[in-house]
Structure 1
Amino acid sequence: MTEYSEISARLAALPDAELTTVLQAATVGRPAFWAVRAALDEMAGVGHIAPGGDVSPTTESVQTHDQASGGGASGQVGAASAVPVVPVHPAGIPASPAAGGYSSGGVPTFESVRDKVEQRFGTAQGMGELDRQTPAGRSADEQWEAREKAARERLDQIRKSVHDNDNP
Structure 2
Amino acid sequence: MSDLGEITARLAALSDDELLAVLGTVTAGRPRLSWVHSAVVDATGLGHASSEGTVSPTTATPQAHDQEPSVGTSGQVGGLSPVPAVPVPPTGIPSGPEVGGYSPGGVPTFESVRDKVEQRFGTAQGMGELDRQTPAGRSTDEQWEAREKAARERLAQIRKSLHGNDVESNDP
Q: Give TM-score scaled by structure 2 length.
A: 0.40
Work out which structure has the larger RCO, using CA pairs closer than 8 Å and 6 or more positions apart in sequence. 2
Larger Rg: 2
